Amino acid sequence: MRYTELIDCINGTEAEELFLELLDITFDALLKPELNESQKEALKRFNESAGLNLSEDELIAILLDIYENRNR
């Protein structure tokens, strides 16, 4: 799944509200390899509310892609 597909999935859903929180998590993921429990829970909530079935690693990879593209 590419980041544009992810954005399309969350547009207008509850998951859209969690998106900014996930960008913060993504920034933290760039700085340290392990997420804390709160961050893992936010990823899980986002994954569920967006109707995705992605692993934590897959979701972080997509979010890193989004983060990098937003900061170009």
Dump the DSSP string for 5-58: HHHHHHTTSHHHHHHHHHHHHHHHHHH-S---HHHHHHHHHHHHHTT----HHH
Check residue 43 and give its pLDDT. Answer: 84
In which residue ranges of the chain is pLDDT below 70? 1-3, 14, 20, 27-33, 70-72
Check residue 30 and give its pLDDT. Answer: 64
Check residue 31 and give its pLDDT. Answer: 66
Task: Give the chain's domain count.
Answer: 1
The percent of residues in the chain predicted with pLDDT above 70, rounded, is 72
Which pair of tokens denotes residue 18? Answer: 């969690």
**Domain coverage including residue 66:** 3-70
